[in-house]
């Protein structure tokens, strides 16, 4: 047996440090499962697969904003640095879809007020465990817990108000694709709410989701002021039979 990062380094002819970074970024798989721990002991003949990050694609720009179609495996902060433009909002690293960068400070202030007043439309698509057969409105407050392993949201009566509307899109065996519209923008809101109703997002093991290539969540549509954008799901946003029930 040998440490995963050492085996990966030998397979890809890269340094140990590069191999560790790849594993920590969530891009390395073996036996159709994501490798979570760089120092995990694995068999010497293990064959790894690496999910290569696509380049972010700019789909719109004017004097106020830049709109990016964000691929998974790259953080919002990395994209902000890439375009040297501040973020208007954030998406989790594994989440794909619409990401807005803001160029004008006056517009930024107005936009932040729209978020606060819940005048922004945010629609996501997700693959979840179980069959979702009818619309569900989840109105449960969320409290953010911060730790060394990152932020985590939980249902708490003393938390901030959070409302998520769920609608079924389609089903595959014991899994469902759903549409989620959020009226508030709490940390991990969709992830925590779906876990609460026992339909965790596939790949979202932090909230009880089953193993998948990534957290299967995509920011599909976004509306603010007179702006309206939508982006199709990426190629990896599919459910294959290898995802065990």
What predicted TM-score, i.e. pTM, was given to this entire model? 0.83
Is residue 245 annotated as part of the catalytic site, yes or no? no
Class of residue 84 by CB neighbours under 10 A (exposed 0-12, middle 13-18, buried 19+)? exposed
3-state helix, strand, coil in the chain (%, to 5): 20, 35, 45
- Report the alpha-carbon distance of residue 175 to residue 172 in Å, rounded: 5
- From the number of C-beta atoms within 10 Å of its C-beta (0-12, 13-18, 19+), residue 185 rates as middle
* Active-site hit among 24, 84, 92, 156: 92
What distance in Å separates the CA atoms of residue 221 and residue 59, rounded to the nearest whole number?
13
140-198 residue pLDDT tens: 999 999 877 778 899 999 999 999 999 999 988 899 999 999 988 899 999 999 999 99
Q: What would the pLDDT profile of 141-150 be if each residue is shown by its tens digit?
A: 999 998 777 7
């Amino acid at each position: 047996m040998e440490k995963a990062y050492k085996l990966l380094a030998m397979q890809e002819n890269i340094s140990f440090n590069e191999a560790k970074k790849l594993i920590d970024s969530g891009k390395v798989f073996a036996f159709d499962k994501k490798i979570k721990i760089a120092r995990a002991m694995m068999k010497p003949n293990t064959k790894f697969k690496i999910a290569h990050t696509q380049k972010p694609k700019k789909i719109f720009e004017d004097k106020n904003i830049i709109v990016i179609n964000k691929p998974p495996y790259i953080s919002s902060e990395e994209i902000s640095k890439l375009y040297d433009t501040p973020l208007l909002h954030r998406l989790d690293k594994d989440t794909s879809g619409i990401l807005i960068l803001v160029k004008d400070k006056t517009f930024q202030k107005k936009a932040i007020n729209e978020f606060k007043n819940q005048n922004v439309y945010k629609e996501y698509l997700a693959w979840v465990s179980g069959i979702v057969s009818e619309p569900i409105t989840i109105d449960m407050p969320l409290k953010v817990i911060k730790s060394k392993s990152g932020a985590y949201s939980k249902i708490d009566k003393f938390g901030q108000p959070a409302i998520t509307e769920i609608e079924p899109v389609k089903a595959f065996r014991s899994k469902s694709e759903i549409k989620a519209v959020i009226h508030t923008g709490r940390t991990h809101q969709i992830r925590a709410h779906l876990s609460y109703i026992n339909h965790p997002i596939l790949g979202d093991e932090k909230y009880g989701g089953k193993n998948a290539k990534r957290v299967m969540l995509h920011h599909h549509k976004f509306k603010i002021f007179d702006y309206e954008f939508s982006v199709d799901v990426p190629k990896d946003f599919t459910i294959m039979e290898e995802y065990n029930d």
